[in-house]
Amino acid sequence: MPFPLWAAYPLIMPLPHAFPFDPTGGYSPEQLRALRPEIAEPADFADFWRATFDEAMAAPLDWSIKPSARSGNAAHAVFDIEYAGMLGNRIGGWLTQPRDGSVTRGFLIGHGYGGRGEPDLDLPANHAATIQPVCTGLPMRSLHDGIPWQGGEHVLHGIARRESYVHRHCVMDLWRAASVLHEVVPESRPRLDYMGSSFGGGVGALALPWDARIQSAFLSVPSFGNHPLRLQLPCSGSGESVRLLAQRRPDIRDVLSYFDAAIAARHTKIPVIVAAADFDPAVPPAGQFSVYHCLGGPKELFPLTAGHHDGYPNQANEELALQTTLRRWFSA
């Protein structure tokens, strides 16, 4: 398997840090860009996800909406939204609309493993309505009895079976959120795009191939890419819990193969831009780049010096350049 051996490459530490492992995973930027993942795909991978999509679409949405205590800003009004989850739970989040009422498109926006405490109002396109759900079991809008909300525990919930794994329900939450947006704001139907970072990048990558309503996407430092490789690399994020559990229970590797964002990327034909980091303590960079390299349609890479690691030189300039790039990307 074309993975770098720890003994074969010197540890590359381009940024100062105090982690007891190398946040580059032992890969140089050149190696990350040249990475060509070879990941075994379950024979029924696509069948599993198509059936999951059909299940999510068949269940009643039972949505409700009301003005939010979040005040929004001069350009965007904010509403609290709820709809039915797939476990008898309620999924909470926010829906935003331009205050001038001019809507020509929609955004489905994911979140990181900390959940979401407020809506994102900094959008890369005008005249957009958004829906920003909090996925099953995560704070604070979608907490669920029996599902731990901490990322390192949430990531293990239901992992014994592909049907019960919590990430399956989180992906369904995204598809159902898109349906709610289209019902509440029909003007958003002509164009729907996805944006998600970290956890939201990973579950977003799993969601993209099967929902024809999504026309393009932005995935930032996406998680859950190339599980066989991720299980070799220590990290400070939720993947560490999975890596340690897999050492005790190798059987979960079979389940994880259905939730590999890089495998899903092979089935993705829409345009996708990926911001992938050369240095990331929480999400191994090689997993992020695996998602990018496996994409099956038009794609663009926006390289980041670091992810999940604030305060590095030139960070502000990178973030500004990324925002400019996204406005161009979503104007196409």
Residue 12 has pLDDT above 50, yes or no: no
Residue 2 has pLDDT above 50, yes or no: no
Least confident of 8-22, 32-46, 286-300: 8-22
Structure confidence at residue 1 (pLDDT): 31
Share of the chain above pLDDT 90, in %: 95
The answer to whether residues 306 and 276 touch, using CB atoms and an 8 Å cutoff, is no
Q: Return the residue matching tokens 């919930």.
A: 157
Kindly indicate the confidence band of residue 71, based on its pLDDT and cuts at 50, 70 and 90.
confident
Q: Which residues contact 259 (CB under 8 A, 6 or more apart)?
A: 162, 165, 167, 168, 206, 224, 227
- Burial class from Cβ neighbours inside 10 Å (0-12, 13-18, 19+) for residue 28 reads middle
Average the pLDDT over 316-326 and give the result. 98
Average the pLDDT over 254-275 and give the result. 98
Residue 135 has pLDDT above 90, yes or no: yes
Average the pLDDT over 217-235 and give the result. 98
Measured between alpha carbons, how far is 196 from 221 in angstroms, rounded to an integer? 9
Q: Which residues contact 258 (CB under 8 A, 6 or more apart)?
A: 42, 45, 48, 49, 162, 165
Count of Cβ atoms closer than 10 Å to residue 271 Cβ? 18
Structure confidence at residue 10 (pLDDT): 36
Q: What is the 3-state secondary structure (H, E, C) of the chain?
A: CCCCCCCCCCCCCCCCCCCCCCCCCCCCHHHHHHCCCCCCCCCCHHHHHHHHHHHHHHCCCCCEEEECCCCCCCCEEEEEEEEECCCCCEEEEEEEEECCCCCCEEEEECCCCCCCCCCCCCCCCCCEEEEEECCCCCCCCCCECCECCCHHHHCCCCCCCCCCCHHHHHHHHHHHHHHHHHHHCHHHCCCEEEEEECHHHHHHHHHHHHCCCEEEEEEECCCCCCHHHHCCCCCCCCHHHHHHHHHHCCCHHHHHHHHCHHHHHHCCCCCEEEEEECCCCCCCHHHHHHHHHHCCCCEEEEEECCCCCCCCCCHHHHHHHHHHHHHHHHHC
Least confident of 13-27, 112-126, 215-229, 260-274: 13-27
Q: Which residues contact 136 (CB under 8 A, 6 or more apart)?
A: 85, 86, 87, 89, 91, 142, 144, 147, 166, 169, 170, 173
Average the pLDDT over 100-120 and give the result. 97
Kindly indicate the confidence band of residue 332, based on its pLDDT and cuts at 50, 70 and 90.
confident
Q: Which residues contact 167 (CB under 8 A, 6 or more apart)?
A: 155, 203, 206, 224, 259
Structure confidence at residue 14 (pLDDT): 66
Average the pLDDT over 255-269 and give the result. 98
Q: Return the residue matching tokens 């999510």.
A: 56
Measured between alpha carbons, how far is 125 from 289 in angstroms, rounded to an integer? 26
Residue 4 has pLDDT above 90, yes or no: no
Spell out the domain ranges in the chain.
29-331
Average the pLDDT over 64-92 and give the result. 96
- The pTM of this model reads 0.95
The answer to whether residues 175 and 194 touch, using CB atoms and an 8 Å cutoff, is no
Per-residue model confidence as pLDDT tens digits over 156-202: 999 999 999 999 999 999 999 999 999 999 999 999 999 999 999 99
Measured between alpha carbons, how far is 306 from 115 in angstroms, rounded to an integer? 21
The answer to whether residues 205 and 225 touch, using CB atoms and an 8 Å cutoff, is yes
Residue 8 has pLDDT above 90, yes or no: no
Residue 13 has pLDDT above 80, yes or no: no
Structure confidence at residue 120 (pLDDT): 96
Kindly indicate the confidence band of residue 70, based on its pLDDT and cuts at 50, 70 and 90.
confident
Average the pLDDT over 245-263 and give the result. 98
Query: Which tokens in the block code for residue 94?
Result: 């926010």
Query: Which tokens in the block code for residue 234?
Result: 């220590």
Kindly indicate the confidence band of residue 54, based on its pLDDT and cuts at 50, 70 and 90.
very high
Which residues lie across from 107 on neighbouring strands?
130, 193
Question: 29-331 domain in CATH 3.30.565.10?
Answer: no
The answer to whether residues 110 and 203 touch, using CB atoms and an 8 Å cutoff, is yes
Share of the chain above pLDDT 70, in %: 96
